[in-house]
Amino acid sequence: MDLKFDIYQKEFIKISISDCRKEILDFFRTSFNKQLKDNSIKIRKDEFLRKRKDFSLLKARLGLRFEMSESFREFIARAPTYNTVKDNTEIDEETILQKLGREKFSRIPTKNQLKNLRKLCALPAGASFSVPGAGKTTEALGFYAFHKKSDKTKLLVISPINAFISWKEEIKKCFSKDLEIQRLRGKAKEVGEILINDPTHMIINYDALRNPERFNLIKQLILDNDDLVVVLDESHKIKGKEISKIMHQLSPLISRKLILTGTPMPQDVSDLKSQFNFIFPEERVVDADQLPDKFQPVFVRTTKGQLDYKYPDIKYKKTFIEPSSAFMTFYDEYLRKKLDQGFSLEDLLEVRSLKKAVLKLIMFFSRPYSCIDMVYKLDESLAERIESEGFGAKIDAAIKSAKDLISQNKKVVIWTSFKKNVEDIAEVFGDQAVFIHGGVNTADQSEEKQFAEFDTREKRIDKFKNDPNCMVLVANPAAASESISLHENCDHAIYVDRTFNAGQFMQSRDRIHRLIERSKEREKHIEIIMLKLPGSVEQRVHDAIEGKIKRMAEFLDDPSLKSLGGFSEEVSGDEEEVLMNDITDSELNRVVRNF
């Protein structure tokens, strides 16, 4: 044989070469940057799978003969390819229910979940993009149960830390109250000790995989267990450069996998790329605009309109308030007038990029005092006026609305993107409030600190939900927009400010607007507080969010997303870095152009 393929040390493909003609050697050098050694070459499995089609082309072009070991054939047979599964026939309901019964899956799937499982279970790799409350976790556990080969089939969930609670609860509801999902938390040594005990069901957070030692432990877990199902929860989280690279290395090693998110493209169609690459790493997609069509055969979605239970009615309200006089003086004299004179927004706001300038402008609208040092340099008397006005018009309005609701014995969530706002608003309400803003982790934040914040977060959410004296939750969407269900306890949300991240807005909104039994159904109220300044950055944010939601609606074929209800008539780094990533270049230009 000209080329012989075998598995080497679990992680590599060993290719023995008897035909050493120049074209073959050039192929390995250009495709893998490798030279022949002892008439063989070793290639990592993930590298090999991504170039598997190239081997077929090489074989046809040079008339080569391939020999494959049994272990190599098994490896190839397990690796899902897009072209072989995109036309798979759905599995009938009876077959699925019988298999779930044999695996002691105790929860009875709804008709929508069963419809989705018919498609997903026919695939080795797929996606569920259903709305919050539709049961994506149930579908994922059903997918796992259907693909189980034995009692030793393992489940690995990779998710944000804040989804751990949901998985802990749902696995018990779907299988047994005694079943636990093992949290792989702690330093690499501690995670290694947990894995030595050979748990069957495991969950780890995305940030943990940034640590090379923990990454290698998970990689080895995958290599050691062919009989493994991997689920990515909130899969839109893997679009960042570092985490997408990590998943790029793991994905070809996983034969059965599922991704879950209700907001697969929170910014634009390019958000789909890393998610599609995870489930089908071999499939090359040159143009991101092809991704919606590529996803069609392999994803499912239950829309709000398809649910058996009713989503409560939701009333949107934009509250326009007059800016304070000091704010308007700065806005007119030091921003608008100077921009008309040819100054750049970056120079005026003393930052080095337009993205930072727009973020600082959003922050200034939210709370003028946040830029007090800059104002002092320009006009000391104006700075003193801004200082005397306290929080500013928007936060004052949010506090007043919240107090009105509390007087009616109604709980309320107040959303703001900035940590200082979160803390100070909560302080106004004293023991009646809790706050959460730990979702934005800095690069040097320890794993212990992240989980300590997670534990604190659990306690605070529980207090808000169950303590009758705790009436206000003040939160940063980066920390609390996902994996929290407040719909049975709270009917009101107030937004002090928003960024360009449509996904975070939708997720945060849906904390109180979820699937609910008719007996518990109550009307929901969303209030957006905006300054009365037509064409301002706040209006640009609103327009951008609505545009992104409409584009996602077209991809998902979900009419319920196509507008923001009553509005139509009228995302590791520090906080600044995360918020800036939400802004596209075209959005930046519109902010400046319409100032």
Query: What's 128's domain CATH number?
Result: 3.40.50.10810
* pLDDT > 50? residue 164: yes
> Has residue 471 been placed in a domain?
yes
What are the two backbone dihedrals, phi and then psi, of residue 311, each rounded to the nearest 5 degrees?
A: -80, 135
Q: What is the pLDDT of residue 589?
A: 61
Instruction: Write out the two tokens for 30.
Output: 């250009």
Calpha distance 538→196 (Å, rounded): 52
Shared-domain flag, residues 275 and 328: no
Q: What is the pLDDT of residue 553?
A: 83
Shared-domain flag, residues 188 and 289: yes
Shared-domain flag, residues 523 and 377: no
> Has residue 595 been placed in a domain?
no
- Amino acid letter at 200? T
Strands 492-495 and 524-531, sheet pairing = parallel
- Cβ atoms of 116 and 96 closer than 8 Å: no
What are the two backbone dihedrals, phi and then psi, of residue 67, each rounded to the nearest 5 degrees?
A: -120, 135
What are the two backbone dihedrals, phi and then psi, of residue 112, each rounded to the nearest 5 degrees?
A: -70, -40
Residue of 149, 96, 151, 156 whose CA lies nearest to 122:
96
Q: What is the pLDDT of residue 558?
A: 76
- Cβ atoms of 412 and 494 closer than 8 Å: yes
Q: pLDDT-based confidence at 564, cuts 50/70/90? A: very low
Shared-domain flag, residues 404 and 538: yes
Q: What is the pLDDT of residue 568?
A: 36
> Has residue 588 been placed in a domain?
no
Residue of 249, 288, 261, 286 whose CA lies nearest to 272:
288
Calpha distance 484→413 (Å, rounded): 12
Residue of 570, 548, 573, 574 whose CA lies nearest to 561:
548
- Cβ atoms of 112 and 134 closer than 8 Å: yes
Shared-domain flag, residues 475 and 331: no
What is the domain count for the chain? 4
Domain that holds residue 347: 323-387
Q: What is the pLDDT of residue 586?
A: 62
> Has residue 593 been placed in a domain?
no
Q: Which of 136-140, 289-293, 441-445 has the lowest mean pLDDT?
A: 441-445
- Cβ atoms of 157 and 233 closer than 8 Å: yes
Other C-beta atoms closer than 10 Å to the C-beta of 247 total: 24
Dihedral sign for Cα atoms in the order 426, 427, 430, 431? positive
In the three-class reduction of DSSP (H, G, I as helix; E, B as strand; rest coil), residue 570 is classed as coil
Q: What is the pLDDT of residue 46?
A: 83
* pLDDT > 50? residue 162: yes
Calpha distance 151→227 (Å, rounded): 10
Domain edge (last residue) among 32, 60, 77: 77
In the three-class reduction of DSSP (H, G, I as helix; E, B as strand; rest coil), residue 318 is classed as strand
Calpha distance 253→257 (Å, rounded): 10
Q: pLDDT-based confidence at 437, cuts 50/70/90? A: confident
Calpha distance 56→157 (Å, rounded): 34
- Cβ atoms of 530 and 320 closer than 8 Å: yes
Shared-domain flag, residues 494 and 552: yes
Strands 299-300 and 256-260, sheet pairing = unpaired
* pLDDT > 90? residue 50: no
Taking residues 490-514, report their average pLDDT: 86
Taking residues 475-485, report their average pLDDT: 73
Residues 6+ apart with CB under 8 A from 130: 112, 116, 136, 139, 262, 300, 301, 302, 303
What are the two backbone dihedrals, phi and then psi, of residue 329, each rounded to the nearest 5 degrees?
A: -60, -50
Instruction: Write out the two tokens for 587.
Output: 């959005």
Q: What is the pLDDT of residue 200?
A: 96
Strand order in the sheet with 314-321: 314-321, 524-531, 492-495, 412-415, 472-475, 433-436
Name the percent of the chain lying above pLDDT 90. 54
Tens digits of residue pLDDT in 298-340: 999 998 778 766 556 788 899 999 999 999 999 998 888 888 8
> Has residue 591 been placed in a domain?
no
| CATH code (residue 553) | 3.40.50.300
Instruction: Write out the two tokens for 488.
Output: 């049975």
Residue of 40, 50, 53, 48 whose CA lies nearest to 11:
48
Cα separation values, 159 from 99, 116, 478, Å: 27, 21, 14
Tens digits of residue pLDDT in 124-155: 999 999 987 789 999 999 999 999 999 999 99
Instruction: Write out the two tokens for 256.
Output: 């059965």
Other C-beta atoms closer than 10 Å to the C-beta of 197 total: 7
pTM of the full structure: 0.75
Shared-domain flag, residues 229 and 273: yes
Residues 6+ apart with CB under 8 A from 490: 411, 412, 413, 464, 473, 511, 512
> Has residue 330 been placed in a domain?
yes
Q: What is the pLDDT of residue 514?
A: 62
In the three-class reduction of DSSP (H, G, I as helix; E, B as strand; rest coil), residue 481 is classed as coil
> Has residue 333 been placed in a domain?
yes
Name the percent of the chain lying above pLDDT 70. 88
Domain edge (last residue) among 54, 77, 100: 77
Domain edge (last residue) among 55, 77, 99: 77
Shared-domain flag, residues 412 and 561: yes
Q: What is the pLDDT of residue 582?
A: 57
* pLDDT > 80? residue 23: yes
Higher per-residue confidence, 87 vs 231: 231
Higher per-residue confidence, 529 vs 371: 529
- Cβ atoms of 129 and 299 closer than 8 Å: yes
Beta bridge partners of 201: 155
Question: Angle of helix 136-147 relative to helix 111-120, nearest 10 degrees?
Answer: 50
> Has residue 299 been placed in a domain?
yes
Calpha distance 365→327 (Å, rounded): 8
| CATH code (residue 47) | 3.30.70
Shared-domain flag, residues 235 and 293: yes
Higher per-residue confidence, 559 vs 90: 90
Q: What is the pLDDT of residue 442?
A: 35
Tens digits of residue pLDDT in 505-563: 888 887 776 655 555 667 889 999 999 998 899 999 998 888 888 888 888 877 666 54
Q: pLDDT-based confidence at 114, cuts 50/70/90? A: very high
Calpha distance 54→61 (Å, rounded): 10
- Which range of 1-5, 262-266, 380-384 scores highest in mean pLDDT? It is 380-384
Q: Is 426 exposed, middle or buried (0-12, 13-18, 19+ CB in 10 A)?
A: buried
* pLDDT > 60? residue 594: no
b/e per residue 222-239 (b: at least 16 CB within 10 A): beeebebbbbbbbbbbbb
Mean pLDDT score of the chain = 86
Residues 6+ apart with CB under 8 A from 354: 344, 345, 346, 588, 592
Beta strands in 9-79 (DSSP E): 12-17, 40-44, 66-68
Shared-domain flag, residues 50 and 89: no
Calpha distance 142→155 (Å, rounded): 12
Shared-domain flag, residues 504 and 544: yes
Instruction: Write out the two tokens for 304.
Output: 């709000």
- Cα–chain center distance at 117: 22
Higher per-residue confidence, 395 vs 161: 395
* pLDDT > 80? residue 444: no
Residue with tokens 């985490």: 243
Q: pLDDT-based confidence at 440, cuts 50/70/90? A: very low
Calpha distance 178→173 (Å, rounded): 10
Tens digits of residue pLDDT in 198-248: 999 999 999 999 999 999 999 999 999 989 999 999 999 998 889 999 999
* pLDDT > 60? residue 576: no
Shared-domain flag, residues 375 and 401: no
Cα separation values, 251 from 11, 31, 274, 280, 456, Å: 13, 20, 10, 8, 33
Instruction: Write out the two tokens for 358.
Output: 């727009």
